[in-house]
């Protein structure tokens, strides 16, 4: 008989639960207690065990879907004689008995009791959670996804608890443009240049290679520069580890590969791995300059605006036109003062201009 | 061990299996959405509840916590009255108004579970004071976790019991974690028994809480002392929860190797081995116990599933308004 697996009540609030990964495929046989999928709740990532033994027929909720408690997420075919539901069957696989007690015969005749409990007159918990359908045309508002809620919490905390200050400047982009043209066949990402410039500048600014813990600046074991990525509306940071030792080509390839992994739904690529600082590039979106919020526990973040031809005053006082971009560095004032950060930003500019 | 009858030992075993079977089955019911709220389970800690309650009389009292299913079954509540309670049925041990975190039955010597960490400790001290003033030999036992030791209520309850020699046994189930926090993060000296002995001047004992016979013996000595007027006694039972803090907790903070090592010390297979080694039971006997408990559970599910739910009229009964 058909058995519809519903999302258990695993979240601590009424929030949605995101499907992280399925560990079985349609057609596969599963047993009760076997981990079926990974989900992300408002509080933790966890595995969900099967409540039945049978064959997985259909996966209803796909990876990344946000589902509510009680939603059908998969369909199984279970033997009519199987003691499939704990409502009729209760021998746990983990029971301390010496032999397998899954043999039939110890329980009352199987009844399709789960739906009776969940949807019967008394109403199971899932039934109680569901509100009545809203009237047509009424916009209930858009609920933030689990990831969005996590991100908004972190960012709000950052903005409210880290004393940010901001430094803005311009850099000449001709060296980068020339380098990109020279290697036109591989098409280097812009971000690779910024990652490398930041990493190399960091080499001379010890405070930016540390993290604030209490009233101590502790050194970071590995130096990574993060690249902020907006994937399908969700914010991710791809860390490039020890980029100062890598060529622009290597960094560029690494960023591209990681973006692909993210798009492919690789759960590992979605893990949060803090970097020393992050770069965030909105230049492609025609933004001239913006002041980004620090991504804790990092101590600074670099906002990058668009590169475009600009009027510049040359050393001889003449006007000229050169491709330039803007940079804005947001800094945790507890970690660095204005002058120190200004020199750091200047070092980044010099790295970029000699790309 | 020789002094115990086979029936007594098999009964200890069956009581632990009943708790494990209950917890494992209820877990699946929760995943199916048949139960409201969350549940806090005690897989891996069965020997503490069973060992301690095996020395108690019906008129002795226990207090418990949010993790009370095992304590309740060990104190003599039935699977049926517990299941009905979990289903919110009016036939539950608290008429469906308590739920998983507040199971208890005053007629069977169990105050409904107190979910406030440490909350049961002063209550037990108070009951022990009453028992003493009434000149009975009844004993109050309080079960609580390692997390309760840092609560003010712990100090007040234990101290008061100590200065007045109350017949109270304080049973700390030290499972290394309070929710996700390891004991080493919340106490400098993690030997709780030693701290309590030094701090309150009462007899304390730290022992393997996964050895049901050892727990039984320590509890028997403690209860005898209390009945004789030389309480209180503090027992620190070293154990481990082989499941999340609640059903919504995957327990990622428990290192894999740590969990594996404690699985090896799982009180149930361990005691099964003792029974086999001593020739008290073979696999078929243990199997029969498991079968009996499974069908007892199935029958209780059937009852609970069809039990009446409280009505609107019940809203104002058994509550303070
Ligand atoms: C006074 C109080 N603070 C916090 C909580 C939230 N809480 C519920 S269980 C728990 C952890 C308790 O740990 P422990 O006492 O070791 O018991 P265990 O869960 O390990 O059995 C906490 C902090 C509570 N219920 N009461
Ligand atoms: Mg604990």
Between residues B315 and A134, the one the model is more confident about: B315
B308 vs A contacts (CB less than 8 Å)? none
The answer to whether the Cβ–Cβ distance between A106 and B309 falls below 8 Å is no
pLDDT at A134: 55
DSSP string, B17-42: HHHHHHHHHHHHHHHHT-S-S-----
CA of B241 to the centre of ligand 2 (A): 8
Of A101-110, A267-276, B22-31, B42-51, minimum mean pLDDT range: A101-110
Between residues B135 and B315, the one the model is more confident about: B135
State the Cα–Cα distance between residues A67 and A5, nearest whole angstrom: 13
State the Cα–Cα distance between residues A43 and A63, nearest whole angstrom: 18
Q: Which element (helix H / strand E) includes B272?
A: helix B267-277
Q: Could you tell me what percent of chain A has a pLDDT over 90? A: 59
Which residue puts its alpha carbon closest to atom 25 of ligand 1?
B116
The answer to whether the Cβ–Cβ distance between A99 and B283 falls below 8 Å is yes
pLDDT at A82: 53
pLDDT at A125: 47
For B181-198, what is the mean pLDDT?
Answer: 96
State the Cα–Cα distance between residues A343 and A240, nearest whole angstrom: 23
Top-level CATH class of A1-146? mainly beta
List where CATH 2.40.50.100 sits in chain A: 1-146
The pLDDT confidence band at residue B238, using thresholds 50, 70 and 90, is very high
Which residue puts its alpha carbon closest to atom 4 of ligand 1?
B117
Of A271-285, B57-71, B206-220, minimum mean pLDDT range: A271-285
Phi-psi region of A49 (alpha: psi -120 to 50; beta: other; left: phi over 0): beta
DSSP string, A123-188: --HHHHHPPPPPPTT----PPPPHHHHHHHHHHHHHHHHS-EEEEEEEEE-HHHHHHHHHTTTT--
pLDDT at A86: 45
State the Cα–Cα distance between residues B123 and A234, nearest whole angstrom: 50
Greatest Cα-to-Cα distance within chain A, rounded to the nearest angstrom: 97
pLDDT at A131: 46
Phi-psi region of B268 (alpha: psi -120 to 50; beta: other; left: phi over 0): alpha
The pLDDT confidence band at residue A139, using thresholds 50, 70 and 90, is confident
Query: Residue B253, CB half-sphere, CA atoms under 13 Å: how many?
Result: 14
**pLDDT of B155-179, one tens digit each?**
999 999 999 999 999 999 999 999 9
| pLDDT at residue A128 tops 70 | no
State the Cα–Cα distance between residues B102 and B67, nearest whole angstrom: 9
Using CA coordinates, name the residue in chain A closest to B304.
A87
Q: Which element (helix H / strand E) includes A302?
A: strand A300-304
State the Cα–Cα distance between residues B75 and B70, nearest whole angstrom: 9
The pLDDT confidence band at residue A184, using thresholds 50, 70 and 90, is confident
State the Cα–Cα distance between residues B127 and A210, nearest whole angstrom: 56
Mutant choice from A39, A86, A109, A127 vs B, greatest count of B C-beta within 10 A: A86
| pLDDT at residue A355 tops 50 | yes
| pLDDT at residue A113 tops 50 | no
The answer to whether the Cβ–Cβ distance between A49 and B252 falls below 8 Å is no
Specify the ligand 1 atom closest to the Cα of B174: 16
The pLDDT confidence band at residue B319, using thresholds 50, 70 and 90, is confident
Interface contact A96, partner B, CB < 8 A: yes
The answer to whether the Cβ–Cβ distance between A49 and B38 falls below 8 Å is no
For A41-70, what is the mean pLDDT?
Answer: 89
Which two three-digit tokens encode residue A253? 């390839």
Query: Angle B6-32/B212-227 helices, nearest 10 degrees?
Result: 110
Q: Collect all residues with Cβ–Cβ distance below 8 Å to A171 and sequence separation of at least 6.
A: A324, A325, A326, A327, A348, A349, A352, A353
Radius of gyration of chain B (CA): 19
Mean pLDDT of chain A: 83
Name the one residue in this structure whose structure tokens are 């002063």. Answer: B122
**pLDDT of B252-295, one tens digit each?**
899 999 999 999 999 999 999 999 999 999 999 999 999 999 99
Nearest by Cα to B219 from B112, B73, B60: B60
**pLDDT of A241-250, one tens digit each?**
999 999 999 9
| pLDDT at residue A111 tops 50 | no
Count of C-beta atoms within a 10 Å radius of residue A77:
13
Exposed, middle or buried: residue A181 (CB in 10 Å: 0-12, 13-18, 19+)? exposed
The shortest CB-CB distance from A124 to any of B34, B287, B290 is to: B34
pLDDT at A94: 39
Q: Could you tell me what percent of chain B has a pLDDT over 70? A: 99
For B141-168, what is the mean pLDDT?
Answer: 98
For B82-106, what is the mean pLDDT?
Answer: 95
CA of A296 to the centre of ligand 1 (A): 29
pLDDT at A54: 94
List where CATH 3.30.559.10 sits in chain A: 162-353
State the Cα–Cα distance between residues A196 and A188, nearest whole angstrom: 12
CA of B113 to the centre of ligand 1 (A): 13
B69 to B38, B42, B56: CA distances (angstroms):
13, 8, 17
Nearest by Cα to B234 from B190, B291, B193: B193
Exposed, middle or buried: residue B321 (CB in 10 Å: 0-12, 13-18, 19+)? exposed
| pLDDT at residue A124 tops 70 | no
Backbone angles phi, psi at B61, to 5 degrees: -115, 145
Between residues A341 and A66, the one the model is more confident about: A341
Helix residue ranges, H only, chain A: 113-119, 125-129, 146-161, 174-182, 190-202, 248-263, 267-270, 338-353
User: A189: which DSSP letter?
Assistant: -
Domains and CATH numbers, chain B: 6-308 (3.40.50.970)
Q: Which fold has domain A162-353?
A: Chloramphenicol Acetyltransferase (3.30.559)
For A102-118, what is the mean pLDDT?
Answer: 36
B266 to A32, B75, B241, B259: CA distances (angstroms):
21, 21, 10, 10
Of A103-117, A127-141, A335-349, B146-160, minimum mean pLDDT range: A103-117
Binding site membership of B146 for ligand 1 (Cβ less than 6 Å): yes
The pLDDT confidence band at residue A41, using thresholds 50, 70 and 90, is confident
Query: Residue A87, CB half-sphere, CA atoms under 13 Å: how many?
Result: 20
Interface confidence: ipTM more than 0.90? no
Which residue puts its alpha carbon closest to atom 12 of ligand 1?
B178
State the Cα–Cα distance between residues A328 and A291, nearest whole angstrom: 6
**pLDDT of A93-104, one tens digit each?**
333 333 333 333
Interior angle at CA A14, CA A11 and CA A17, nearest 5: 50
| pLDDT at residue B3 tops 90 | no
pLDDT at A269: 73
State the Cα–Cα distance between residues B175 and A137, nearest whole angstrom: 53
């Amino acid at each position: 008989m058909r058995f519809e697996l519903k999302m258990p009540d695993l979240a601590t609030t009424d929030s949605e639960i995101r499907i992280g990964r399925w560990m079985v495929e349609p057609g596969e046989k599963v047993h009760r207690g076997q981990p079926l999928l990974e989900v992300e709740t408002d509080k933790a990532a966890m595995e969900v065990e099967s409540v039945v033994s049978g064959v997985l027929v259909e996966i209803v909720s796909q990876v990344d879907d946000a589902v509510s408690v009680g939603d059908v997420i998969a369909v199984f075919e279970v033997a009519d004689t199987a003691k499939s539901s704990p409502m009729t069957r209760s021998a746990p696989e983990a029971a301390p008995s010496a032999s397998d007690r899954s043999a039939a015969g110890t329980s009352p005749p199987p009844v399709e009791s789960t739906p009776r409990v969940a949807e019967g007159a008394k109403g199971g918990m899932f039934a109680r959670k569901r509100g009545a359908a809203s009237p047509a045309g009424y916009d209930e508002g858009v609920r933030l996804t689990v990831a969005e809620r996590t991100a908004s919490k972190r960012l709000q905390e950052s903005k409210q608890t880290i004393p940010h200050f901001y430094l803005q400047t311009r850099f000449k982009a001709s060296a980068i443009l020339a380098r990109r043209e020279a290697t036109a066949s591989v098409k280097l990402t812009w971000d690779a240049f910024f990652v490398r410039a930041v990493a190399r500048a960091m080499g001379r600014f010890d405070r930016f290679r540390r993290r604030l813990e209490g009233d101590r600046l502790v050194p970071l074991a590995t130096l990574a520069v993060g690249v902020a990525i907006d994937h399908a509306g969700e914010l991710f940071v791809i860390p490039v580890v020890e980029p100062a030792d890598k060529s622009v080509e290597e960094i560029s390839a690494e960023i591209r590969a990681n973006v692909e992994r993210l798009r492919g739904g690789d759960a590992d690529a979605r893990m949060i791995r803090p970097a020393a600082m992050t770069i965030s590039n909105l230049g492609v979106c025609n933004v001239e300059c913006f002041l980004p919020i620090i991504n804790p526990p990092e101590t600074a973040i670099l906002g990058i605006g668009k590169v475009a031809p600009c009027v510049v005053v040359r050393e001889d006082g003449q006007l000229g036109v050169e491709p330039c971009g803007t940079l804005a560095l947001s800094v945790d004032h507890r970690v660095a003062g204005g002058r120190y950060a200004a020199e750091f930003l200047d070092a980044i500019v010099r790295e970029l201009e000699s790309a | 061990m020789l002094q115990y009858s086979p029936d007594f030992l098999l009964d200890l075993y069956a009581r632990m299996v009943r708790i494990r079977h209950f917890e494992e089955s209820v877990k699946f019911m929760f995943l199916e959405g048949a139960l409201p709220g969350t549940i806090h389970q005690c897989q891996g800690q069965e020997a503490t509840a069973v060992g301690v309650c095996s020395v108690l009389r019906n008129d002795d009292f226990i207090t418990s916590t949010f993790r009370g299913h095992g304590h309740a079954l060990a104190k003599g509540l039935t699977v049926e009255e517990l299941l009905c309670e979990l289903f919110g049925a009016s036939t539950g041990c608290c008429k469906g108004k308590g739920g998983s975190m507040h199971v208890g039955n005053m007629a069977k010597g169990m105050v409904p579970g107190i979910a406030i960490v440490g909350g049961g400790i002063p209550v037990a001290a108070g009951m022990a004071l009453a028992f003493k003033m009434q000149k009975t030999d009844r004993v109050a036992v309080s079960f609580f976790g390692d997390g309760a030791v840092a609560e003010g209520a712990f100090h007040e309850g234990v101290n008061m019991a100590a200065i007045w020699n109350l017949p109270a046994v304080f049973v700390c189930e030290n499972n290394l974690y309070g929710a996700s926090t390891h004991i080493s993060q919340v106490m400098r000296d993690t030997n709780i028994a030693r701290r309590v002995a030094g701090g309150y001047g009462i007899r304390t004992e730290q022992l393997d809480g996964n050895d049901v016979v050892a727990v039984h013996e320590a509890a028997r000595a403690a209860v005898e002392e209390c009945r004789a007027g030389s309480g209180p006694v503090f027992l620190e039972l070293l154990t481990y929860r082989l499941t999340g803090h609640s059903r919504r907790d995957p327990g990622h903070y428990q290192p894999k190797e740590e969990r594996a090592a404690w699985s090896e010390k799982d009180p149930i297979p361990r005691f099964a081995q003792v029974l086999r080694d001593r020739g008290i039971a073979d696999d078929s006997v243990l199997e029969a116990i498991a079968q009996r408990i499974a069908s007892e559970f199935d029958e209780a599910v059937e009852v609970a599933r069809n039990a009446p739910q409280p009505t609107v009229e019940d809203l104002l009964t058994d509550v303070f308004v």
